[in-house]
Amino acid sequence: MHTESHPFWSVMIPAHKPNHYVLEAIKSVLIQAPEPQRMQIEVLIDGPVSEDSLEQIRRVCGSRIGIYLHGETVGQARNLNKAIERATGEWIHLLHHDDLVLPGFYAAIEEGIQSAPHIGAAFTRHSFIDEEGHWTRLSHLERRSAGIPEGFLRKLAVYSRFQTPSIAVRKSVYEKLGGFREDLVFALDWEMWVRIACKYDLWFDPRILALYRVNSAGVSSSLVRSAGDINDTKKAIGIMSGYLPSAWANRAKQEALRFHGRGAMEMARRLYMGGDRDGARNQIKEGLAMSKSPAVIGELVRVQLGRLRRALQAQRSGSGT
């Protein structure tokens, strides 16, 4: 039986420089939240926040939702780990302040837990959304009916197939495996999911019940412009290869390096289109350091051909021909 101090759910909402998105995230939980005895809800604010913003959050939270202020900037990993530490529920859902859940998310996860009580985590299909909340693309359909996907770890080891708002994890799993690594930034969530999948089964529900927001500012961030995201991903791949079954760990590592090397070339293309040549060059350099496979080289050739075509078009436009 769950008591107020030990509910079934802990929905923890890490927020960094919270804006209007956090109000939407809170409302998306409240609309389907059970009574407080079954669900703890708390917003954890990392870094400074204006009194106006804090007052808005307090108005939406009311007495139902707790607010934790770090009082300083601690960074994403430490904020997530504080959320895990403060969670009193058996199951933890980490919902970043700019993401959302759709009605039925918590009920779907509970169905999975009831169907397979041994699982360590459960996730649903999700949609990527833009800054205005428009759906842009869907995550993978891991299986057509709810259940435990076969061979899922092998796929997850190549790239993260779901995002944080779509997964809930048993608190005891975090306690046994440890929190998010503070030496990772861009790939810290992916590393965590692989760490969990190496030890526990994951349940999947094919219904689209979570929304992951992609910010256009991410393309121009200093981490991307310096290719720090690629370095961080490469580091995570090296760490994760130590968890994987030895029979196929190296093959999965090489597949992951190729996949993310191609991703670096795609980011280089986007940066070139935005006029950021230095950022594009950094992505290309680090992408090639990750992998020089034919697939990555092929993507690089396409990037350079596209850049050449745009340069020729600009030259023709300037000459009036």
154-166: per-residue pLDDT in tens?
Answer: 999 999 999 999 9
pLDDT of 1 strictly over 70: no
- List the CATH code of the domain at 9-213: 3.90.550.10
Please enumerate, as own/partner, the contacts of 304-310 that have beta carbons within 8 Å and a separation of 24 or more. 306/269, 306/272, 307/269, 307/272, 310/272, 310/273
CB 92 within 8 A of CB 84: yes
pLDDT digits (tens, 9 = 90+) for 12-31: 999 988 788 999 999 999 99
* 84-142: pLDDT as tens digits: 999 999 999 999 999 999 999 999 999 999 999 999 999 999 999 999 999 999 999 99
Rounded to whole angstroms, the Cα distance separating 125 from 191 reads 19
Burial level of 178, CB count in 10 A (0-12/13-18/19+)? exposed
Annotated domain spans of the chain: 9-213, 217-319
DSSP structural state of residue 155 = H
| Cα–Cα dist 193/213, whole Å | 19
Chain centroid offset of residue 41 CA? 20
Return the pLDDT at 25.
Answer: 96
Radius of gyration of the chain (CA): 21
Residue type, position 113, single letter: I
Q: Is there a contact between 243 and 198 (Cβ–Cβ < 8 Å)?
A: yes
Average pLDDT, the chain: 93
Spatial CB neighbours of 80, under 8 Å, sequence gap ≥ 6:
14, 94, 179, 180, 188
Helix (H, G, I), strand (E, B) or coil at 168: strand
Name residue 277's beta-bridge partners.
Answer: none
Q: Is the pTM of this model over 0.85?
A: yes
